[in-house]
């Protein structure tokens, strides 16, 4: 049992899902941010993941038979969701008509993304534990029956 590759695959999946959770947290944290550090309004971030193709060392392992590398984050991009305006004349960032621009973060979308990422993360943990159980069982071979 090549448990190292199995662990690496599940770990890469956990890494991707954790990034997804982080990005969801950033989006939710900025749900009421009226302006970012550069003065413009925050744009919701979106994670794209791809199947990992393998670095040079991975390609070396490929010669040794390992062909699967798990997943990796392709990019974290700001999505083009239109910001919405809220009437709040007391806000220092309000324009001359009293409207404040808030980022187009959709709370429902973010919650769904969070739940999906959480379940996927858990599934990766289950796969990792299964690999551990299998490797440990293999160690018992030849012991007392």
Partner 1 sequence: MLGSTEAVTVEMVRMALDATSLRHQAIANNIANINTKGYAPARVDFEQQMSAVRQALDAGQPVTHEMLSGIQPVLQRDQVVSDEDRTSSLDTESANLAQNTVQYEALLKALGKHFAILGSAISEGKR
Between strands 99-102 and 84-87, the pairing is: antiparallel
Residue with smaller CB distance to partner 1, 92 or 144: 144
Using the rule CB under 8 A, which residue among 25, 29, 50, 115 binds partner 1? 50
By CB under 8 A, is residue 71 in contact with partner 1?
yes
Measured between alpha carbons, how far is residue 67 from residues 28, 85, 86 in Å? 38, 50, 52
Pick the closest to residue 1 from 140, 143, 144, 96 (CA basis).
140
Binding mask 102-131 for partner 1 (x = CB under 8 A): --------------xx-xx--xx-xxx-xx
Q: Determine, following the binding rule CB under 8 A, whether residue 141 of this chain makes contact with partner 1.
A: yes
Q: Which of 37, 39, 92, 143 binds partner 1 (CB under 8 A)?
A: 143
- Tally the C-alpha atoms within 13 A of residue 57's C-alpha that lie toward its C-beta: 1
Residue 128 CB contacts under 8 Å (≥ 6 apart), including other chains = 6, 7, 10, 11, 14
Contacts with partner 1 by CB under 8 A lie at 1-2, 5-6, 9-10, 12-13, 16-17, 20, 48-51, 66-71, 116-117, 119-120, 123-124, 126-128, 130-131, 133-134, 137-138, 140-143, 145
């Amino acid at each position: 049992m090549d448990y190292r590759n199995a662990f690496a695959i599940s770990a890469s999946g956990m890494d991707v899902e954790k990034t997804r959770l982080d990005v969801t947290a950033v989006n939710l944290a900025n749900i009421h941010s009226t302006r970012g550090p550069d003065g413009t309004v925050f744009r919701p971030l979106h994670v794209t993941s791809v199947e990992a193709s393998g670095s040079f060392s991975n390609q070396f392992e490929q010669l040794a038979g390992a062909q699967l590398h798990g997943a990796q984050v392709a990019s974290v991009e700001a999505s083009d969701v239109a910001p919405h305006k809220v009437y709040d004349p007391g806000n220092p960032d309000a324009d001359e008509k009293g409207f404040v621009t808030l980022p187009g973060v959709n709370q429902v979308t973010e919650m769904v993304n969070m739940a999906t990422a959480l379940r996927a993360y858990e599934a990766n943990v289950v796969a990792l534990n299964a690999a551990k159980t299998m490797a440990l069982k293999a160690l018992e071979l030849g012991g007392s029956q």
